Amino acid sequence: MPVLSKRLDQLRTAKNLAGLADLTRGVEKESLRVNRQGTLSRTTHPKALGAALTHPHITTDYSEALLEFITPPEKNINHIINTLEDLHTFTYQHIGDESLWVNSMPCILNDDDVPIAQYGDSNSGRMKSIYRLGLGHRYGRSMQTIAGIHFNFSVSDDLWEFLHKTDASNLSLVSYKTDGYLKLIRNFRRNFWLLLYLFGAAPAVCSSFIKGREHVLEPVKADDPHTLHTPYATSLRMGDLGYQSSTQESLMPTYNNIDEYIKTLCDAITQQHTDYGAIDIKDKQGEYQQLNDCLLQIENEFYSVIRPKRTAKSGQTALSALANGGIEYIEVRCLDLNPFEDVGINKQQIQFLDIFLLYCLLEESPPSDKNENQKILHNQKRMVYEGRKPDLKLHDFDKERSTAQWSQEIMGKLQLIAELIDTQNNSEDYQNALKVEQRKLDNSAHTPSAKIIEQLNNDEISFYHLALRQSLANREHFKSQQLHATTAANYTQMAAESLTKQKHIEADTSMDFEKYLENYYKQYNCCTQ
């Protein structure tokens, strides 16, 4: 009996469906602040939103203009969506006539016009800003303004204990969980092309975004040289013109064990790289231009589609947290903003992600190797540029398969999981979520990427004007919303407390920055062990 079917039968027989349905998720949603003309805001992070360094739910990513909303870990999907709606509403009360860009891909901007996020004068704040300065030198600032949604996911301890027992594993429960999440990651990387097809919403870009770069894009319409695409594109954000790095293609952990993963990234953080050695760590005035001259400044620079994660303590590296405690949850990083949804994502998409990630966890997951990594990268590129092409074929281990056939096979397995979760919840919500995505597989016209291209053609409009129109409509929606008085007061208090907390951090002058950085990098001692 296949591993997935066996495990589902065991869960059903043991009446342990509660463990299967008990999931925890969180969403990190990025959005650019733009002015009424749709160009990047040059204003600093609004003080009324709090301190980006210390606020638990409202921060910035690469740029002062790139807001990031973070929901707390939740078991209730409605709470996630409601939190995102409240965060948007609160933000719109404090950004004047600015809007939040609803698309992943920015439009009218130049590298020099992108302000790097500032986090104050503390050691941790300086490090965050220098890291971003380094990213700009390495990849260009424009690339760093691309926005997306990161989806954090974990399953219950009850499910882990059940699987640990039924597998009769000799590993400790902590090691078993880590190994299980790595199996999930391997399967995810084999199958995430399906997510690019279903949820890709970046099929076109403004010509200004790729100015001076080689590309294979063509105008959507002959009379509009400013809007470029490929006819069957899904998510250009996830291609070599987007949030990917050709320099990092040599960095391919196989995710077979946690020690190998940590060692691979540690080496990349501690060994000088020729390309970045040409960039001075400090300029002639002694000002930092990057944190180091290695392939990665820190582990966050690794542009992976999924990451193993563990909550790190203040000042602790992500790899150190993983090494000490194992994997706590995973972070999915390949999701575009959906411009047709007010907060960029909806409940049914989260439900689909739940099922998909459970499938990746419970299905058999053989070890990976560099050869498979190359094929996964090939699949990603083909799906980015040709994802909606009829009869598209991708690599599945040592054979090629049509995406139509492969996707239906996956959907059949997802159906089994959806039925069990719905049985536990006494609903049909998860099966209905599958039906929504099945429509996209039956007809690619229902995908977000196809809808965007359809609007560009039918409305005879450029990508810039379409995105601006959608962003202004989104602004009007949230400007019309009213926060509950208690919610508004809580966010106002959070903002004030974050500003106070940042001042306290900055008041701690017990260590100079050079020493702080030295101590931080000492944590990567796994490289020398």
- Closest by CA to 66, choosing from 40, 27, 98, is 40
Share of the chain above pLDDT 70, in %: 98
Block residue for tokens 């540690």: 266
Checking phi first, is residue 245 left (phi over 0); if not, alpha (psi -120 to 50) or beta? Answer: beta
End-to-end CA distance of the chain: 42
Checking phi first, is residue 326 left (phi over 0); if not, alpha (psi -120 to 50) or beta? Answer: left
Residue 443 above 90 pLDDT?
A: yes
Q: What is the SS3 assignment for 238?
A: helix
* Model confidence pLDDT, tens digit, residues 6-34: 999 999 988 889 999 999 999 999 999 99
Query: Residue 297 and residue 154: Cα distance in Å, rounded?
Result: 27
* Banded pLDDT at 483 (limits 50, 70, 90): very high
Q: What is the SS3 assignment for 212?
A: coil
**Which pLDDT score, from 0 to 100, does residue 244 have?**
63
Rounded to the nearest angstrom, the gap between the alpha carbon of residue 42 and the centroid of all alpha carbons in its chain is 25
Across the range 361-381, mean pLDDT stands at 95
Mean pLDDT (the chain) is 94
- Element of type H or E holding 94: none
What is the DSSP-derived secondary structure letter of residue 64? T
Report the CATH number that the domain containing residue 142 is assigned in CATH. 3.30.590.20
| H helical segments located in 363-402 | 370-386
- Is the whole model's pTM more than 0.95, yes or no? yes
Which tokens sit at 177?
């969980």
* Model confidence pLDDT, tens digit, residues 40-91: 999 999 999 999 999 999 999 999 999 999 999 999 999 999 999 999 999 9
Instruction: With beta carbons less than 8 A apart as the criterion, state whether 153 and 332 touch.
Output: yes
**Which pLDDT score, from 0 to 100, does residue 5 have?**
94
User: Residue type at 30?
Assistant: E
Across the range 446-451, mean pLDDT stands at 98
**Which pLDDT score, from 0 to 100, does residue 467 have?**
96
Contacts of 37 (CB under 8 A, 6+ apart): 108, 468
Q: List, in sequence order, every residue forming a beta bridge with 202; answer none if it has no partner.
A: 235
Q: Is the dihedral of CA 162, 166, 172, 174 positive or negative?
A: negative
Which tokens sit at 272?
């000088």
Checking phi first, is residue 140 left (phi over 0); if not, alpha (psi -120 to 50) or beta? Answer: left
Across the range 130-143, mean pLDDT stands at 93
* Banded pLDDT at 111 (limits 50, 70, 90): confident
Query: Residue 416 and residue 431: Cα distance in Å, rounded?
Result: 9
Residue 224 above 90 pLDDT?
A: no
Contacts of 434 (CB under 8 A, 6+ apart): 352, 355, 411, 414, 415, 418
**Which pLDDT score, from 0 to 100, does residue 442 have?**
98
Query: Residue 341 and residue 167: Cα distance in Å, rounded?
Result: 41
Tell me which of 107 and 337 has the higher pLDDT. Answer: 337
Strand ranges (DSSP E) for 156-288? 204-206, 218-221, 224-229
* 42-51, 122-131, 308-317: the lowest-pLDDT one: 308-317
Q: Is the dihedral of CA 505, 510, 513, 516 positive or negative?
A: negative
Block residue for tokens 């009446």: 15
* Model confidence pLDDT, tens digit, residues 77-110: 999 999 999 999 999 999 999 999 999 999 877 7
Instruction: With beta carbons less than 8 A apart as the criterion, state whether 121 and 53 touch.
Output: no
Q: What strands lie across the sheet with 218-221, from one edge to the other?
A: 204-206, 224-229, 218-221
Block residue for tokens 């999440």: 181
Share of the chain above pLDDT 90, in %: 86
**Which pLDDT score, from 0 to 100, does residue 236 have?**
95
Block residue for tokens 């960039």: 279
Q: 390 is in which domain, residue-wise? A: 3-528
**Which pLDDT score, from 0 to 100, does residue 440 have?**
98
Which tokens sit at 105?
């891909």
Residue 246 above 80 pLDDT?
A: no
- Closest by CA to 365, choosing from 268, 521, 257, 245, is 257
Across the range 469-478, mean pLDDT stands at 97
**Which pLDDT score, from 0 to 100, does residue 108 have?**
75
What is the DSSP-derived secondary structure letter of residue 366? -
Checking phi first, is residue 294 left (phi over 0); if not, alpha (psi -120 to 50) or beta? Answer: beta
* Banded pLDDT at 526 (limits 50, 70, 90): low
Q: What is the SS3 assignment for 401?
A: strand
Across the range 255-277, mean pLDDT stands at 93
Number of domains in the chain: 1
Q: List, in sequence order, every residue forming a beta bridge with 229; answer none if it has no partner.
A: 204, 218
Residue 401 above 70 pLDDT?
A: yes
